Structure formats: C-alpha cells, structure tokens
Amino acid sequence: MKLFFLLALSVLAAGPAAAAQHPRTPIRPQEFDYAQRVDANQISMAVTNIGSFAYDLLTGLAGLEYPRGSGKTAVYAGGLWIGARVGGQPRGVTAEYSQEYVPGIVGADPSAPDFRVFKLFRHYATPAEATAALDDYNGNARPYGAPEVLMLPDGSLDIPGDQMLW
C-alpha cells in the first residue's frame, strides 16, 4: 500500500468581516485536543492533534493570522488530507472543516499527553530550556515516529526553520 500525504489549506475567509459571513459554532475542545500555534516570523496559526489547522477551535474563528497581531486573517480553516491505494482502489480522508482524526495510535488512550502537538524552536533562551524541550520531544514524540532532532554544537536545535510542530 502506498501512502501519500497532502496538506491542504482551504481559504474560506480572508478577514474578520468575511469570517462573520461564514458563522460557525465554536467546537467545544475535547479533553485530548492539545492545540498549539505556529507563531514564528509574521504568522500565527492554530494547529491541533486531530487533523485541523488554521481554524481556532476555542473561538470558532479563522485561525491563521497574518501579520501576527494585526487581527487580519488569511485562512479560515484547513486540514490534513490523507490518501492511499488499498487493493488498487483509491481511498482518502480529510479533516478540512471538521476533526476526523483521533490522537495517538490505534487502541491507545487519545488523552495521553504523549499525543499532543510538540513544538520546538531552533533557538532557546538558555541551554537548559533547549535540553528540556528536546528531552520531552525525544522521550514522548520520537517513539511514535517523530523525526530525529539533534542539538548542534552551538546549542541550537537541528530543525527545518525557526520553529517546528509535530
């Protein structure tokens, strides 16, 4: 079976006024929804462990703000699309406008803290902060398939970009 992943951003509203034209009932966060935000450079975007991103589950509003702090939104909602061929037949699932996924591995408790969104920075204020973040990531995310991250000789983390969420 070949798997392919496609990250899809679906633009529904381009600003606060447009978001008001598409009212959505805020989703009550589940016990296991450990939402994080990409907040590097000029972007602020909600990311969850249940497949949705760029939709703020807590407020029901657009979740990708650019520039960060401006109140201007660029994306209302998006989600992870997963496709595969099973027995030669295409199959797919999306979490574009809903939460289709459950954190963790099949049969595991989705509320386990290991199944949250992990956030790493390239640079931390102190070596102790970098070590603690890396130890948490390596001990809790790596056993479930997260990519290896190393500490470089200068104390920074070997991640692509200034910030990484997994």
* Range in 21-25, 49-53, 85-89, 107-111 with the lowest mean pLDDT: 21-25
Residue 38 confidence (pLDDT) above 70: yes
Residue 87 confidence (pLDDT) above 70: yes
Residue 121 confidence (pLDDT) above 80: yes
Other Cβ atoms closer than 10 A to 71:
9
pLDDT of residue 55: 85
Higher pLDDT, 55 or 120: 120
Contact 89, 1 (CB under 8 A): no
* Range in 53-57, 69-73, 93-97, 141-145 with the lowest mean pLDDT: 93-97
pLDDT of residue 123: 97
Residue 21 confidence (pLDDT) above 50: no
**Mean pLDDT for the stretch of residues 129-147:** 95
Q: What distance lies between CA 116 and its chain's CA centroid?
A: 9
Contact 81, 4 (CB under 8 A): no
Q: What is the dihedral of CA 91, 30, 61, 77, to 10 degrees?
A: -10
**Mean pLDDT for the stretch of residues 83-106:** 86
Residue 107 confidence (pLDDT) above 70: yes
Q: How far apart are CA 29 and CA 69, in angstroms?
A: 23
Of 34, 154, 49, 163, the C-alpha closest to 100 is 49
pLDDT of residue 10: 29
Query: Global pTM?
Result: 0.74
